[in-house]
Amino acid sequence: MTAILPPDLPNAFSFSLEKETGLARAGRIRTPHGDIETPMFMPVGTVATVKSLDQQDLEKLGAQIILGNTYHLFLRPGAELIAEMGGLHRFMNWARPILTDSGGFQILSLTLIPDQAPMVKITEDGALFRSHLDGGERWMRPEDSIRVQQLLGSDIMMAFDHVVPDASGPELVKEAMERTSRWAKRCVDAWEKANRQSAHGKYQALFGIVQGATHPDLRAESLRALAQLPFDGFAVGGETIGYNMEQTVEIFQNLNAELPREKPRYAMGVGRDPQNLIDVFSVGVDVCDCVGPTRLARNGALYHGRLTEPTPEDRQKGKIASFETPYSNGRLSIQRQEFARDERVIDPDCDCATCVAGYSRAYLRHLWKAEELTYYRLASLHNVRFMVRLAEQLRTMITK
């Protein structure tokens, strides 16, 4: 089914596949705010900011798209206020594409706060939850999630999903997965009703989210239900994705044949460690995002290492590259005494503003220990650029 679009509104969303190498793919997503070369890593701007960076930093470091959190922006400053200010792009002074999540995962995280239950009540209608800011009760139904995302005016919206912890047991996982499919239909209806346009008159793409935790049969059933709806792309979400990488890879391998080849694939919450990008891009993921790079930067963990041609062992596993690093998980811990007099930059192969300017490990360690604000910016510039560059390099390896 194709939406009827007014003549002055070109359908500015498309995905074209440029090259496939094994399961890995290189492509291009077209949005009303510009093109995105895939595979790519998307920095997370939870409350309309990627922590400690500004939008000029993000442009310079090559971020092609950023993620905004519907849940957080809904609560503060509120979607209506952002709409009044011209939408999220204008409000935050960011001209490139934006993807907004649906709020489903944040609502799940509320249920995981110890001693705060019951913060959330899920019914067929939607989720009733208490704001973590003022304790007030709020509803988030599929229609609310879409409405909020339309007011924000993102280029890619996510369907509202019911996310449950992996340990929930197969019956509850199945129930939540089936509810996610019914909610997906309601999201599509709300999207079609607005003629697939944002409150600011631009085409908005809508992606469905495959659930089903760690059960292959439920994941497959979830995808089959969603694939009947006219989504522009498909995401795979849930607690496992990005946390348990072995299972994440297995889930994508299992779904690979049934994921529509001509639509983008998004691994939600993947990209904490450099190796994670190799893992998911090797199984056909086009887009991933993670708060890891900025969060780890603030905690003193800075990426270090480089891509190499796959080792025979990695090649056998279908990996498109290997990652070589002297540090565990490719992260150097800047607090360590060994760096106190280290004049080297974080990573000599890195082209981020921090490394290019020549800031030494010794200086960064000092700033970190003194909890100076400059540290957070310099460290985040490095970690975010590191992941964006890694995705660029992996794309080159796939296309060559």
Q: Is 57 a catalytic residue?
A: no
| Cβ atoms within 10 Å, residue 35 | 15
CB of 224 to Zn ion, least distance (A): 43
Number of residues lying near Zn ion (CB under 5 A): 5
Which is nearer to Zn ion, 27 or 300 (by Cβ)? 300
Please tell me the distance from the alpha carbon of residue 116 to that of residue 119, in angstroms, as a whole number.
6
Residue 2 CB burial class (10 angstroms; 0-12, 13-18, ≥19): exposed
CB of 304 to Zn ion, least distance (A): 9
Which is nearer to Zn ion, 334 or 352 (by Cβ)? 352
Residues 253-292 that bind Zn ion (CB under 5 A): none
CB of 288 to Zn ion, least distance (A): 20
Near Zn ion by CB under 5 A, which window of 184-192, 228-236, 278-286, 379-387? 379-387
CB of 34 to Zn ion, least distance (A): 25
Distances (CA, A) of 64 to 8, 27, 314: 25, 13, 29
| Cβ atoms within 10 Å, residue 44 | 22
Omega before 77 cis (within 30°)?
A: yes
CB of 307 to Zn ion, least distance (A): 15
Which is nearer to Zn ion, 205 or 346 (by Cβ)? 346
Q: Tell me which of 273, 279, 289, 347 is the catalytic residue.
A: 289
Does 389 interact with Zn ion (rule: CB under 5 A)?
no
Selected from 164, 355, 379, 390, the binder of Zn ion by CB under 5 A is 355
Selected from 65, 82, 350, 387, the binder of Zn ion by CB under 5 A is 350
Near Zn ion by CB under 5 A, which window of 143-151, 176-184, 280-288, 380-388? 380-388
Q: Tell me which of 57, 101, 232, 279 is the catalytic residue.
A: 101
CB of 132 to Zn ion, least distance (A): 33
Residue 172 CB burial class (10 angstroms; 0-12, 13-18, ≥19): middle
Does 72 interact with Zn ion (rule: CB under 5 A)?
no
Near Zn ion by CB under 5 A, which window of 94-102, 256-264, 270-278, 377-385? 377-385
| Cβ atoms within 10 Å, residue 167 | 10
Which is nearer to Zn ion, 140 or 355 (by Cβ)? 355
Token pair recorded at residue 230: 């006219």
Is 126 in contact with 70 (CB distance < 8 Å)? no
Near Zn ion by CB under 5 A, which window of 69-77, 164-172, 353-361, 367-375? 353-361
Distances (CA, A) of 269 to 67, 272, 273: 11, 8, 11
Which is nearer to Zn ion, 25 or 382 (by Cβ)? 382
Please tell me the distance from the alpha carbon of residue 59 to that of residue 33, in angstroms, as a whole number.
13
- The site map against Zn ion for 204-233 (x = CB under 5 A) is ------------------------------
- The site map against Zn ion for 298-337 (x = CB under 5 A) is ----------------------------------------
Does 352 interact with Zn ion (rule: CB under 5 A)?
yes
Q: What is the Rg, in whole angstroms, of the alpha carbon atoms belonging to the chain?
A: 21
Which is nearer to Zn ion, 201 or 358 (by Cβ)? 358
Torsions phi, psi for 351 (to 5 deg): -105, 20
What is the helix, strand, coil percentage profile of the chain, to 5? 40, 20, 40
Which is nearer to Zn ion, 52 or 354 (by Cβ)? 354
Please tell me the distance from the alpha carbon of residue 95 to that of residue 72, in angstroms, as a whole number.
21
Is 226 in contact with 184 (CB distance < 8 Å)? yes
**Helix extents (H) in 287-360:** 292-298, 312-316, 353-357
CB of 298 to Zn ion, least distance (A): 16
Sheet strands (E) in the chain:
14-21, 24-31, 34-38, 40-45, 66-68, 98-100, 120-122, 127-130, 137-140, 156-158, 205-210, 233-236, 265-267, 287-290, 301-303, 306-308, 322-324, 331-333
Q: Is 232 a catalytic residue?
A: no
CB of 369 to Zn ion, least distance (A): 20
Does 382 interact with Zn ion (rule: CB under 5 A)?
yes
Cite the active site residues: 101, 289
Residues that bind Zn ion (CB under 5 A): 350, 352, 354-355, 382
